[in-house]
Amino acid sequence: MKDWTGNKKSTFVTLGASSHSEHDREKHDYYATEPMAIDKLFNVIGDKLPTLVWECACGGLHLSHRMHVLLPRLSIYNSDLINRGFNCEILDFLQYNNPNSFNGAIITNPPYKYAQEFVEKAIESVTDSNLVCMFLKLTFLEGQKRKKMFNKHPPKTVYIYQAED
Mean of pLDDT over the chain: 83
Calpha distance 4→13 (Å, rounded) = 11
- 16 near 31, Cβ under 8 Å? yes
- φ/ψ of 54, rounded to 5, equals -110, 120
Instruction: Kindly state the DSSP code that residue 22 receives in the 8-state scheme.
Output: S
Instruction: Provide the pLDDT for residue 99.
Output: 86
Global pTM reads 0.80
Please indicate whether residue 145 or residue 67 has the higher confidence score (pLDDT): 67
Amino acid at 61: L
Q: What is the C-alpha separation between 34 and 46, in angstroms, rounded?
A: 18
Distance CA 132, CA 41 (A): 12
Where is pLDDT greater, at 127 or 84? 127
Q: Beta-strand (E) ranges in 9-131?
A: 52-55, 75-80, 89-90, 105-108
- Across 129-134, average pLDDT: 90
Q: Kindly report the CATH number that applies to the domain delimited by 27-152.
A: 3.40.50.150
Tell me the β-bridge partners of 20: none
Query: Distance between CA 15 and CA 34 in Å, rounded?
Result: 8
Q: What's the pLDDT tens digit per position in 11-52?
A: 444 444 444 445 554 555 555 777 888 999 999 998 889 999
pLDDT attached to residue 26: 55
Q: Is the pLDDT of residue 165 over 60?
A: no
Query: Percentage of residues in the chain with pLDDT exceeding 90?
Result: 56
CA–CA separation, 116 and 112 (whole Å): 8
- The pLDDT confidence band at residue 9, using thresholds 50, 70 and 90, is very low
Q: Which amino acid is at 60?
A: G
Question: What is the reported pLDDT for 143?
Answer: 84
- Cα gap 96→81, rounded to integer Å: 11
